[in-house]
Structure 1
Amino acid sequence: MSITSTTVEPSHVPRLRADASRNRERIVAAAREEFVKYGAEVAFDQVARRAGVSNATIYRHFVDRSDLIRQVTLEVMNRIVALAESALAEAPDAFEALQRFVHGAAEERIGALCPILSDGCELIAAELAEQRIRLEHALEDIVDRAHSSGLLRPDVAAADIVIAVHQLTRPLPGTTDLNLDRFVDRHLQLFLDGLRAPGRSPLPGTAATFEDFQRRR
């Protein structure tokens, strides 16, 4: 009898762990979508329904709302870093890499998420520090190469790209129920076309830098 138990139990452990992992992934993905649409105070009932799990399952994985926000922050940051690095490595030219990054980052809806995740970002600054540095380096490499190849206007810096994507993916007030996603790629492409060299008119002010972000923090 004990032999039978020993034989059967290991076969069940990986399945349970895999199920738990899938549930966690579904919860994080659902929370991201609900945060974008309704804000950080969205009811866990809605997150649970979107994820196809119970409220109890959410609390088995996450201590509280802040813990869930923290995990969404990390997941989004990891994907954006991977996007910047893969675009740099795989695109046929630097401007194409820039386009891939801009459209991919927009799909994460960082303009909607950043205000929601700001508290979580502050709480996990140390965890995000390495990824933030990787993102800055990858994006600066993309911009430097685009400048060197003469494809990107010289008065644009990497931080300008981040600010623009953030601004262009912020929801408009009072438009929660409207399908504005269909316009995002259209307007981002208008923005990208304006980045191509040569610029048709001088830009006012000075280019943003990542050091500006650090000083604000």
Structure 2
Amino acid sequence: MSPVSKRGPRSDASRNRARLVAAAREALAEAGNDVAFDVIARRAGVGNATLYRHFPTRADLLVAVYADEVAALCQRGEQLLGSAAPTEALFAWLDEFVVHVATKRPLALAATEGSDESRTTLFRDWHASITSIADRLVRRAQPALRSDLTATDVLTLASGAALTADPAQARRLVALLRTGILASTGTD
């Protein structure tokens, strides 16, 4: 192995990649998943060759953008794990989760078009990351929740809300969900 291959990407290459992903995220949010590569390269301040060097296909770029979205959602969950109010942390994260599902689902599906094996692997990895943070948030809030509640239950209910409504309605449904999963105080 040569010294160059041991080092990893050059700092300018890493910066270009990050700029391309950020530009793609913005352009995709504005124009949808079919935005032209030229537009993304221009926004990132790089040439088309640089874009294609980092992302040879549209799917490669969409995967990078969606993977960053999942990472940001999970990072937000990590931040909320440090909050003083476990139940509030769980529901703050669920609000963000339903907005993520309601608004990013087309991106996730577009990113994984093509090979069923690739799609399965990507979705499995993304699902595992999201489920892991949800499980930690639910376990932390468990004393205030129904004793039989699992992270899978919470994610399934929240996903259902997100897939049937716009983001604002999905957040409202999560607020309604809250009353169903909190432990009974015996005063109802």
Scaled by the length of structure 2, the TM-score of the pair is 0.68
Q: Report if aligned partners of 2:77, 2:133 keep a CA contact under 8 Å in 1.
A: yes
Q: Does 1:125 align with 2:120?
A: yes
Aligned to 1:93: 85
Q: Report if aligned partners of 1:31, 1:47 keep a CA contact under 8 Å in 2.
A: yes
Report % sequence identity.
28
1:92 partner SS:
coil
Q: 1:167 to 1:86 in 2, by over 3 A?
A: farther
**Which of residues 152, 158, 162 in structure 2 aligns to 1:161?**
158
2:104 partner SS:
helix
Aligned to 1:193: 175
| CA distance in structure 2 between the aligned counterparts of 1:28 and 1:169, rounded to whole angstroms | 25
| CA distance in structure 2 between the aligned counterparts of 1:35 and 1:52, rounded to whole angstroms | 17
Comparing 42-51 with 137-146, which one deviates more in the overlay?
A: 137-146
2:10 partner SS:
helix
Q: Report if aligned partners of 1:150, 1:197 keep a CA contact under 8 Å in 2.
A: no
Q: 1:127 to 1:191 in 2, by over 3 A?
A: closer
Deviations 1:155-176 (A, max 9, x none): x733212333455556xxxxxx
**Which of residues 54, 60, 72 in structure 1 aligns to 2:65?**
72
| CA distance in structure 1 between the aligned counterparts of 2:97 and 2:88, rounded to whole angstroms | 14
Q: Report if aligned partners of 1:111, 1:166 keep a CA contact under 8 Å in 2.
A: yes
Q: Cα distance, 1:43 vs. partner?
A: 0.8
Gaps of 5+ in 2: 182-188
Aligned to 2:186: none
Q: Cα distance, 1:116 vs. partner?
A: 3.0
* Structure in which a larger fraction of residues adopt helix: 2
| CA distance in structure 1 between the aligned counterparts of 2:15 and 2:84, rounded to whole angstroms | 35
Scaled by the length of structure 1, the TM-score of the pair is 0.61
Rg (Cα) greater in structure: 1
Aligned to 1:138: 133
Gaps of 5+ in 1: 1-9, 171-183, 200-217
Residues paired across the two proteins, number = 167
| CA distance in structure 2 between the aligned counterparts of 1:110 and 1:27, rounded to whole angstroms | 23
